[in-house]
């Protein structure tokens, strides 16, 4: 990485929308990732980029990677990116871009739109849908209360061995329950959705007190099928809550999980 300090302004692109549906009034209330640049649309042909001006002293290649290490900066900018896209989500299909895609001029933004005509097909595929997130957690204590038999009381070798055996049985039962519940949950939710992704689980040190994560799913749901999706989720909840499973629904999100990623 060349540590040359950059100057001047760039165009930060949040995502792409159909030019015909988009109006800059959608973003009137949304603040962009930098106070100096209002959120606007840069159109070329059928497509328009949601963009705002940013100083390259803060968003240049070297600067942005440095700034990402500052948690306060990261949080503010990531939230701003999301807020701008949510403002668009209400009024139009949209292809969200990953954070930190920046062009040196509006001509470069237009060139990007011309070079990516397939985005029109992606927008068509996404029309009328939203992304919903579902995470499921297992409360391990509750699971063990429900599935464990009474602990062998008393001291001595025999009681100790019985306790060890019981702990091993419980651990096995929990592992197979977690697998079965995750599979069943993802299958039921997927069948109520157009498309689905099962993302990597967060490790226990990250989920903290929430419990053991067993599902980290993203679902592309038709707006007119959202009620059916929530019914499927309620049914899962009724079925698995007694075992200690808790579901968390988030969204609607811009369809981050349903646009191809070239990583």
User: Which parts of this chain interact with other proteins (CB under 8 A)?
Assistant: 10, 13, 15-16, 56, 59-61, 64-65, 68-69, 71, 74-75, 78-79, 81-82, 95-104, 108, 112, 116, 119, 133, 199, 202-203, 205-210, 233-234, 237, 246-250, 253-254, 256-257, 259-263
Rank residues 67 and 163 by Cβ distance to other proteins and give the closer one. Answer: 67
Rank residues 71 and 155 by Cβ distance to other proteins and give the closer one. Answer: 71
Using CA atoms, how far apart are residues 260 and 27, in angstroms rounded to an integer? 25
Rank residues 135 and 174 by Cβ distance to other proteins and give the closer one. Answer: 135
Rank residues 26 and 113 by Cβ distance to other proteins and give the closer one. Answer: 113
β-sheet bridge partners, residue 213: 137
CB of 261 closer than 8 Å to CB of 96: no
Rank residues 69 and 90 by Cβ distance to other proteins and give the closer one. Answer: 69
First to last CA, the chain: 19
Q: Which residue carries 């209400």 as its tokens?
A: 90
Report DSSP letters for 149-183, one per residue.
-PPPPS-SHHHHHHHHHHHHHHHHHHHHHHHHHHH
Cβ partners under 8 Å of residue 34, min gap 6: 12, 52, 53, 54, 55, 58, 59
Task: Please return the burial class of 40, using the count of CB atoms within 10 Å of its CB with bins 0-12, 13-18 and 19+.
Answer: middle
Of the CA atoms within 13 Å of residue 14, those in its CB half-sphere come to 34
Structure tokens at 42: 């840069």
Using CA atoms, how far apart are residues 166 and 149, in angstroms rounded to an integer? 8
Task: Please return the burial class of 4, using the count of CB atoms within 10 Å of its CB with bins 0-12, 13-18 and 19+.
Answer: exposed
Rank residues 91 and 100 by Cβ distance to other proteins and give the closer one. Answer: 100
Rank residues 100 and 162 by Cβ distance to other proteins and give the closer one. Answer: 100
Rank residues 16 and 19 by Cβ distance to other proteins and give the closer one. Answer: 16
Q: Is-cis flag, bond preceding 252, omega within 30?
A: yes
């Amino acid at each position: 990485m060349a540590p040359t300090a950059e100057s001047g302004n760039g165009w930060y692109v949040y995502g792409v929308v159909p030019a015909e549906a988009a109006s800059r009034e959608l973003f009137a209330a949304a603040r962009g990732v930098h106070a100096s640049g209002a959120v606007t649309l840069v159109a070329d042909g059928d497509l328009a980029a949601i963009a705002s001006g940013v100083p390259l002293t803060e968003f240049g290649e070297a600067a942005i990677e440095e700034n990402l290490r500052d948690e306060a900066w990261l949080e503010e900018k990531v939230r701003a990116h999301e807020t701008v896209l949510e403002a668009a989500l209400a009024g139009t299909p949209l292809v969200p871009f990953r954070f930190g895609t920046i062009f040196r001029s509006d001509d470069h933004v237009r060139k990007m739109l011309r070079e990516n005509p397939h985005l029109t097909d992606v927008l068509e595929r996404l029309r009328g849908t939203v992304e919903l997130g579902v995470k499921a957690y297992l409360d391990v204590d509750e699971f063990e209360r429900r599935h464990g038999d009474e602990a062998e009381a008393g001291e001595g070798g025999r009681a100790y061995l019985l306790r060890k055996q019981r702990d091993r049985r419980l651990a096995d039962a929990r592992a197979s329950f977690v697998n079965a519940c995750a599979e069943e949950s993802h299958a039921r939710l997927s069948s109520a959705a157009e498309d689905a992704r099962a993302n990597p689980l967060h490790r226990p040190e990250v989920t903290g007190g929430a419990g053991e994560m067993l599902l980290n799913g993203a679902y592309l749901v038709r707006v007119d099928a959202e009620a059916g999706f929530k019914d499927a989720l309620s049914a899962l909840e009724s079925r698995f809550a007694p075992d200690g499973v808790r579901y968390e629904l988030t969204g609607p999100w811009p369809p981050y999980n349903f646009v191809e990623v070239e990583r």
